[in-house]
Structure 1
Amino acid sequence: MFMSRQYPLRSALALACALLPLGGLAQDAAAPRTVAALPAELPDSGEPTPPSPAVADQEAAGTPGLEANFGIGRAATEEEIAAIDIDVTPDGHGLPDGRGSYADGKALYDERCLACHGENLEGIPETGGPALIGGRDTLASDTPLKTVESYLAHASTLYDYIHRAMPMDAPGSLTPDEVYAVSAYILGRAGIVDETTVLDRESLPLIHMPNAEGFADDPRPERL
């Protein structure tokens, strides 16, 4: 009998405690709401206010906003533009002068890439480094593996990505010769090129990737 009374009492106390916060919430909801005061207006600094494209002379500017002068910045120099104009197109346009071999690429890979992508280019999930080779004919399967072998339609894409984004701790630090060499090593390990291949701006665009036919051309050239 003592046990049968004890448990209902505990249940009643627990229910009462659980309902207490709801009462507090109801009171808070009924309390008047306040908003922060607006900041005081800043004194006139005497500096000119940049014009807005929204109020620019549309007849003089043609397309609103495109010719607006915001009163800040300057035109980039040719040297500054060249420093970031590093994209490489599928046909190889944009590839720089230089050359690199499989052997040179292996030494560089072991030094700069192995820690993230693994000794056998298998990837290391703990570092976020994906696998670089393998996975052919898996993209249409339930377990696709996106690698250089299975997912790139053009070898120039490999060069472009390594050049601008690798290694992870110092992206953009590799020279063109080093990027060609690492590309040759990866493509060689993937069985796409012979290990004696030397890559340069002429030979790299000629490489036929295993899944080159697995992609469809964009039918909207006007959007490119």
Structure 2
Amino acid sequence: MLKSRKAAALLIVLAASSAAAQTQVPQTDAEPAAVQSFGLGRPALPEEVAAWDKDVSPDGTGLPEGFGDVATGEERYLEHCAACHGDFAEGLDNWPALSGGEGTLDRADPEKTVGSYWPYLSTVWDYVHHSMPFGNAQILTADETYAITAYLLYSNALVEDDFVLSKDNFTEIEMPNAAGFVEDDRADVEYPIFTAEPCMENCKESVEITMNASVLDVTPGDDSAAPDAATEDGTAVAPVN
């Protein structure tokens, strides 16, 4: 009886697979490789792509109509953002600061804030509008997002307290670190080097040992392998074997 039930179940599965194959939508050249290979899914419709394609570009593409002033932005910021980022965007506990950090990017512990690090104001607007407030994202209207963005500019001393941010003047704001980023040219500069034929012999005129692995403490060893002298500046001297 058990074998009969298994055989019947297998026949049902095979029949369903055969029916699915017969009703499969014909593939086209425009379909992605995964669709052509596995018969899964379908190309996204234009309206489906448009529903997700809502990012804002540095040139203002994607910005909706609207405006917001610093005073309103402070009210909305205190309501939705201050619990994590502090009343003055100074950050709380492990939540990041959004203001300050000017002139710290060349230090060992830079303060990367909206004012000191972010190169484009569009990133601020887009992130606030689509991802904030934390745990309750996308509740802000376009005007509220303009206002909060204006307040963040004010908290970084980039605009005056009567400033009004809108779609019309958005691209006029230049962030302090706008020139701090470079184009990703790895495909043209680095990739050809990495993919070139490697040198396997006589690659250098001479070979010099500059450090002993046991001194660097990257390999296990006994105490006899430890350095027994040091220079005046504290640099370890490897024992001579």
Both structures adopt the same fold (TM-score exceeding 0.5) = yes
- 1:3-37: CA deviation from partner (whole Å, max 9, x where unpaired): xxxxxxxxxxxxxxxxxxxxxxxxxxxxxxxxxxx
User: What is the aligned partner in structure 2 of residue 177 from structure 1?
Assistant: 143
User: What is the aligned partner in structure 1 of residue 65 from structure 2?
Assistant: 97
Q: CA deviation at 1:134?
A: 0.5
User: What is the aligned partner in structure 2 of residue 120 from structure 1?
Assistant: 88
SS of structure 2 residue aligned to 1:48: helix
Q: CA deviation at 1:88?
A: 0.8
Q: Please say if 1:146 is aligned against 2:144.
A: no
Name the one with the larger helix percent: 1
SS of structure 2 residue aligned to 1:123: coil
Letter of the aligned partner of 2:185 in structure 1? P
Letter of the aligned partner of 1:177 in structure 2? D
User: What is the aligned partner in structure 1 of residue 159 from structure 2?
Assistant: 193
- Number of positions where the alignment pairs a residue of Structure 1 with one of Structure 2: 175
Distance 1:152 1:212 in 2: 7
Greater relative CO (CA pairs within 8 A, separation 6+): 1
User: What is the aligned partner in structure 1 of residue 77 from structure 2?
Assistant: 109
Query: Does the C-alpha gap of structure 1 residues 96 and 147 become closer, same or farther in structure 2, counting only changes over 3 Å?
Result: same
- How high is the TM-score relative to the length of structure 1? 0.67
Q: CA deviation at 1:156?
A: 1.0
User: What is the aligned partner in structure 2 of residue 35 from structure 1?
Assistant: none
- 1:40-75: CA deviation from partner (whole Å, max 9, x where unpaired): 996243333777xxxx99xx7489816528555566
Q: CA deviation at 1:174?
A: 1.1
Letter of the aligned partner of 2:16 in structure 1? E
Letter of the aligned partner of 1:85 in structure 2? D
Q: Please say if 1:68 is aligned against 2:36.
A: yes
SS of structure 2 residue aligned to 1:199: strand
User: What is the aligned partner in structure 2 of residue 20 from structure 1?
Assistant: none
| Gap runs ≥5 in structure 1 | 1-39
SS of structure 1 residue aligned to 2:165: strand
Q: Please say if 1:48 is aligned against 2:14.
A: no
Q: Is the 8 A contact 1:154 1:205 kept in 2?
A: no
Letter of the aligned partner of 1:131 in structure 2? A
SS of structure 2 residue aligned to 1:68: helix
Distance 2:102 2:162 in 1: 23
User: What is the aligned partner in structure 1 of residue 174 from structure 2?
Assistant: 208
SS of structure 2 residue aligned to 1:124: coil
SS of structure 1 residue aligned to 2:116: helix
Matches within 5 A, 1:3-14: none
Distance 2:170 2:16 in 1: 54
Q: Is the 8 A contact 2:55 2:62 kept in 1?
A: yes
Query: Does the C-alpha gap of structure 1 residues 76 and 183 become closer, same or farther in structure 2, counting only changes over 3 Å?
Result: same
Distance 2:141 2:48 in 1: 18
Q: CA deviation at 1:217?
A: 2.5
SS of structure 1 residue aligned to 2:16: coil
